[in-house]
């Protein structure tokens, strides 16, 4: 009896592996089968690629056409405004975008007002595809822009993994009942006995894929030696963002060479901003404090890639809580972060993964504008001072679950192998 169960589990795992490999292989097939004559060895590189008049176009005619156009866009990597702003980018910002266009407009409005923004490369990474969002990003004229698209979005797989397969187990079904009904993932609930929810797992998948794709596949990033700053669509940056980033880089060189990451934001908003404007502190990385305006170097990226298996199998649907788990476990030395006390990145979103109603981006805009009036005297500090140095140690926490399905583990693990 036990042998039959083990055999059944093995067959199930082989089946899951076959599905995931098929998904990953399909990305390569679609790229090579593109009607465009650009071959796999002629990936667009920097200023040799598409010019400012050539916009990324997604085909919304049908689901297969949309899927193929997503793969084609990731292959071609059209950099907008590259003629207008020649030369290597001085700073790369990566924005993870879902489907909150009004908040995205606020972020872009703040970027347009940022000093020296013309030297930036903005990379927008999408997991929801719409003509409205595409038009918003393509309307940017103040710096170079690249759009990349998460190819395993639930939008592209509405009735199969990694979306919600109708044969999947309901979230709250007991494992005994699931085994009796024979639903697809009956053997693999999370740590709390719940089965996967596709819309819950997507954010972590997108974040890890994006990290790989930006550092390994974005051609215009070849040779870039600076930090990459990660933002989300409901962030808002202050006008002295780049000035403060350069000050943090200089401070790190002279006073904190062992700082692994930078955090240009915190979750305190503009409270006491003028007083804290020129202050930084060092501490161990914590998900609830340092997940906004994160700056990651290529060196730290490689450290995280050494934990690919651990990241992809840890039963927490949050990428940031998973990262905190890695710090001091898989990454043997806890991640040390240099943190801005006067936040240069604000969180404007009052809607998110679990809150879908009563979203009022106009209130967020008004609040930010009023706050900036009081904070303007603290902008562009001439130098930074150390305000505190906390212990850098591993902070254990209770995992949140939502990531028990082996299909998610396998797909996530394969981002490092096939992009």
Are 79 and 50 a contacting pair, CB within 8 Å?
A: yes
Residues 12-23: b if buried by 16+ CB within 10 A, e if exposed: beeebeebbeeb
- 67 marked as part of a ligand binding site: no
Beta strands in 294-417 (DSSP E): 294-296, 336-340, 345-347, 385-389
Provide the 10 A C-beta neighbour count for residue 24.
18
- 347 marked as part of a ligand binding site: yes
- 206 marked as part of a ligand binding site: yes
Q: Which residues contact 410 (CB under 8 A, 6 or more apart)?
A: 16, 17, 20
- 82 marked as part of a ligand binding site: no
d(C-alpha 410, C-alpha 185), whole Å: 14
- 234 marked as part of a ligand binding site: yes
- 100 marked as part of a ligand binding site: yes
Provide the 10 A C-beta neighbour count for residue 171.
14
Give the angle subtended at the CA of 391 by the CAs of 388 and 395, to the nearest 5°. Answer: 125
- 97 marked as part of a ligand binding site: yes
Question: How far is it between the farthest Cα atoms of the chain?
Answer: 74
Instruction: Kindly tell me the sign of the dihedral angle through the C-alpha atoms of 125, 145, 223, 333.
Output: negative
- 147 marked as part of a ligand binding site: no
Are 294 and 262 a contacting pair, CB within 8 Å?
A: yes
- 204 marked as part of a ligand binding site: yes
Q: Which residues contact 381 (CB under 8 A, 6 or more apart)?
A: 240, 244, 247, 277, 278
- 98 marked as part of a ligand binding site: yes
- 96 marked as part of a ligand binding site: yes
Task: Give which of 216, 228, 219, 246 is closest to 94, Cα–Cα.
Answer: 228
Place of tokens 């915190």: 266
- The string of DSSP letters for 238-276 reads -TTHHHHHHHHHHHHHHH-TT--EEE---TTTTTTHHHH
Specify binding-site residues for Mn(2+).
Answer: 234, 347
Specify binding-site residues for substrate.
Answer: 96-100, 127, 202-206
Specify binding-site residues.
Answer: 96-100, 127, 202-206, 234, 347
């Amino acid at each position: 009896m036990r042998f039959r169960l083990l055999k059944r589990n093995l067959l199930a795992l082989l089946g899951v592996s076959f599905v995931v490999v098929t998904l990953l292989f399909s990305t390569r097939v679609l790229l090579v089968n593109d009607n465009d004559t650009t071959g796999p060895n002629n990936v667009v590189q920097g200023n040799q690629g598409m010019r400012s008049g050539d916009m990324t176009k997604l085909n919304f005619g049908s689901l297969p056409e949309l899927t193929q156009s997503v793969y084609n866009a990731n292959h071609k990597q059209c950099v907008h405004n590259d003629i207008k702003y020649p030369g290597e980018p001085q700073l790369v910002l990566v924005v993870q975008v879902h489907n909150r266009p009004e908040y995205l407009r606020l972020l872009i409005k703040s970027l347009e007002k940022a000093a020296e923004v013309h030297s930036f490369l903005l990379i927008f990474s999408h997991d929801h595809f719409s003509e409205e969002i595409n038009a918003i990003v393509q309307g940017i004229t103040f710096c170079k822009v690249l759009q990349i698209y998460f190819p395993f979005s639930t939008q592209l797989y509405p009735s199969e993994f990694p979306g919600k397969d109708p044969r999947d187990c309901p979230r709250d079904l007991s494992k005994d009942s699931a085994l009796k009904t024979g639903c697809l993932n009956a053997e693999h609930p999370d740590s709390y006995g719940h089965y996967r929810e596709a819309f819950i797992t997507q954010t972590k998948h997108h974040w890890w894929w994006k990290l790989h794709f930006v550092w390994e596949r974005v051609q215009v990033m070849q040779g870039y030696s600076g930090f990459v700053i990660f933002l989300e669509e409901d962030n808002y940056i202050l006008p002295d963002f780049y000035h403060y980033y350069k000050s943090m880089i200089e401070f790190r060189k002279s006073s904190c060479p062992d700082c692994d990451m930078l955090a240009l934001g915190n979750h305190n908003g503009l409270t006491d901003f003028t007083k804290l404007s020129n202050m930084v502190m060092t501490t161990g990385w914590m998900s609830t404090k340092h997940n906004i305006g994160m700056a990651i170097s290529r060196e730290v990226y490689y450290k995280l890639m050494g934990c690919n298996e651990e990241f992809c199998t840890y039963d927490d649907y949050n990428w940031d809580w998973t990262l905190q788990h890695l710090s001091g476990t898989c990454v043997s030395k806890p991640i040390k972060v240099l943190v801005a006390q006067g936040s240069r990145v604000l969180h404007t979103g009052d809607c998110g993964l679990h809150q879908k109603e009563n979203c009022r981006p106009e209130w967020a805009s008004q609040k930010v504008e009023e706050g900036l009036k009081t904070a303007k005297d603290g902008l562009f500090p001439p130098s930074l001072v150390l305000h505190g140095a906390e212990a850098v140690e591993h902070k254990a926490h209770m995992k949140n679950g939502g990531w028990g399905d082996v299909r998610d583990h396998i797909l996530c693990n394969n981002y490092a192998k096939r992009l």
